[in-house]
Amino acid sequence: MKEKILVIVGPTAVGKTALGIELAKRFNGEIVSGDSQQVYKQLDIGTAKASLEEQAQAVHHLIDVREVDETYSAFDFVSEAKQAIQDICRRGKLPILVGGTGLYLQSLLEGYHLGGDLDQEELLAYRKELECLEDAILFDKIAELSIDIPQLNRRRAMRALELARFGKNMENTQDPYEALLIGLNDDRQLIYDRINQRVDHMITAGLLEESKWLYENYPEVQASRGIGYKELFPYFAGQVSLEEAIETLKQNTRRFAKRQLTWFRNRMSVNFYQISDPDMLDNIIQDIEEFLS
């Protein structure tokens, strides 16, 4: 029997952390972070990591599990998330995955075995290439390879093409979990306004100091390429003004949110809820209760 898990996804700044904590309280759950940047110690503000006060309200896993100069991949996430989920279930609690890194979450939920030799950047680039193709072209590629896919759709087509291309390094196994995917979304302008407000709050909370420390000590590491840090590096180098750097940060974050939504809509079976709906939480709780029963 497959373990049941909840998965909370959506664009940045939409309220995933708060919802995860609320659901953990209500359903005796523990949170597994599905974010590629929150694994790094000392990078708290730019990664929008749950605060110590928030972490005290619900047990969190896969936060602060890497030093800032270490690398982290989808292969690492799948391995460590499986261990966390197994531990949570063993103790009779409900695993709740919370995050916005679609590659990581999809790799875990769809049972991919990501071999250590698989180039994660190459995989991501290929997925972006497939996302740009119309359905008819995707389906033609499936026909050319003589791949038989029951109930063919866009998501299954892209999945099959990835498996065909990467072969043994991306072996598809049985879906390991029974998951309810909860997506948070709303009007695009509302999301963008929340993003702009979050960036302003981050600046007030000390993002400049955190980013400057990273710039001065670890400018070339994987963590420094994350949105929230790299946009401020030109300011520290004297190449742009602070206002220009902050505007670039807001713009890149908005674009990132759009890419996140595209991924979750096209590649994962997500049940979306509008955050401006006053009944959102009640609807989510009702759906979870039906799922768990």
For 187-246, the pLDDT digits (tens) are 999 999 999 999 999 999 999 999 999 999 999 999 999 999 999 999 999 999 999 999
What pLDDT, on a 0 to 100 scale, did the predictor assign at position 113?
A: 53
The mean pLDDT of 52-64, rounded to a whole number, is 97
pLDDT in the model for residue 21:
98
Burial class, 167, CB count within 10 angstroms (exposed 0-12 / middle 13-18 / buried 19+) = exposed
Amino acid 173: pLDDT: 53
Q: What is the band of 171 on the pLDDT scale with cuts at 50, 70, 90?
A: low
Cα separation, 81 vs 111, in Å, equals 12
Q: Which residues are annotated as a binding site for substrate?
A: 12-17
CA dist., res. 78 & res. 278, Å (int):
35
Taking the C-alpha atoms of residue 81 and residue 86, their distance in angstroms, rounded to an integer, is 8
Residue 73 has pLDDT above 90, yes or no: no
pLDDT value for 128: 76
| Both tokens assigned to 61 | 């896993």
Average pLDDT over residues 139-152: 78
Task: Examine the pLDDT at 170 and tell me if it is beyond 60.
Answer: no
Q: What is the reported pLDDT for 103?
A: 83
Query: Is beta strand 177-185 parallel, antiparallel or unpaired with respect to 3-9?
Result: parallel
The yes-or-no verdict on residue 168 having pLDDT over 80 is no
Pure H helices in 40-172 = 52-57, 74-90, 102-109, 120-131, 135-144, 154-166
Q: Say if residue 159's pLDDT is above 70.
A: yes
Rounded to a whole number of angstroms, the distance between the first and last alpha carbons of the chain is 14
Quick check: 179 and 108 in contact, CB under 8 A? no
- Residues tagged in the binding site annotation: 10-17
> Residue 66: beta bridge partners?
40
Least-confidence region, from 10-24, 79-93, 260-274: 260-274
Q: Which positions make up the binding site for ATP?
A: 10-17
When pLDDT is averaged across residues 89-96 and rounded to a whole number, the result is 98
Residues 6+ apart with CB under 8 A from 145: 160, 161, 164
pLDDT for res 164: 77
Which of 3-17, 130-144, 252-266 has the lowest average pLDDT?
A: 130-144
For the cut 60, the answer to whether the pLDDT of residue 134 exceeds it is yes
pLDDT tens, residue by residue, 238-282: 999 999 999 999 999 999 999 999 889 888 889 999 999 999 999
What are the tens digits of pLDDT across the range 106-122? 889 876 655 555 565 67
pLDDT for residue 4: 97
Per this entry, what is the length of the chain? Answer: 293
SS3 content of the chain, % helix, strand, coil (to 5): 55, 15, 35
- Classify burial at 163, counting beta carbons within 10 Å of its beta carbon; exposed 0-12, middle 13-18, buried 19 or more: middle
**Residue-averaged pLDDT of the chain:** 90
